[in-house]
Homo-oligomer: A and B are copies of this chain.
Amino acid sequence: MSESGKRYKAMVDKLKEHNHKLTPQRLAIIKILSQSEGHPSVEDIYRELQRNFPGISEATVYRNILLIKSLGEVLELGFAGEGTRYDGRKPHPHPHIVCVTCRKIIDPDLESLNQMTKEITQESGFEILTYRLDFFGICPECCRKKE
């Protein structure tokens, strides 16, 4: 099964497990979340849905994302200056690299992260629950085009 297929199934299972109904709108939303590589906004998801659900309401998108978020199946990414965006493919915290030119987002592996979390815990005395790490830069493709 494809990666997005697995994510879709995991979300459906989580909904069933918590006795939430599987409405067509709800399923369509999790399908988009499980497939979108571009970290879509509510507005993106709403527009995408309108192709198959002409009468769908924005409130439905907001309410379902709220629900899916409460189940821990989507990662919410607030950016200053633009609306909140969502990652349903990898719902657990992970670093991103965002190309400021083409807005592409890549998920790198980072050895140093566990080390860093330890350092933070020791220095601050906080009980660290989660984190958010984004690098912003220009991707190799856009670097080439610049010249």
Interface residues of A (CB under 8 A from B): 76-81, 84, 95, 97, 99-100, 106, 108-113, 115-117, 119-120, 123-140, 143
Contact of A129 among B79, B84, B138 (CB under 8 A): B138
Question: Taking CB as reference atom, which chain B residue is nearest A134?
Answer: B132
Evaluate whether A79 and B81 lie within 8 angstroms (CB atoms) in the complex, with A97-B126, A123-B109, A134-B132 already known.
no
The CA-CA distance from A131 to B136 in the complex, in Å, is 5
Return chain B residues, CB-CB under 8 Å to A136: 128-132
Question: Taking CB as reference atom, which chain B residue is nearest A125?
Answer: B140
The CA-CA distance from A143 to B100 in the complex, in Å, is 38
Return chain B residues, CB-CB under 8 Å to A117: 135
Evaluate whether A139 and B111 lie within 8 angstroms (CB atoms) in the complex, with A97-B120, A132-B132 already known.
no
Contact of A108 among B79, B123, B139 (CB under 8 A): B123
- The smallest beta-carbon distance between A61 and chain B, in angstroms, is 15
Do A135 and B112 have beta carbons less than 8 Å apart? no
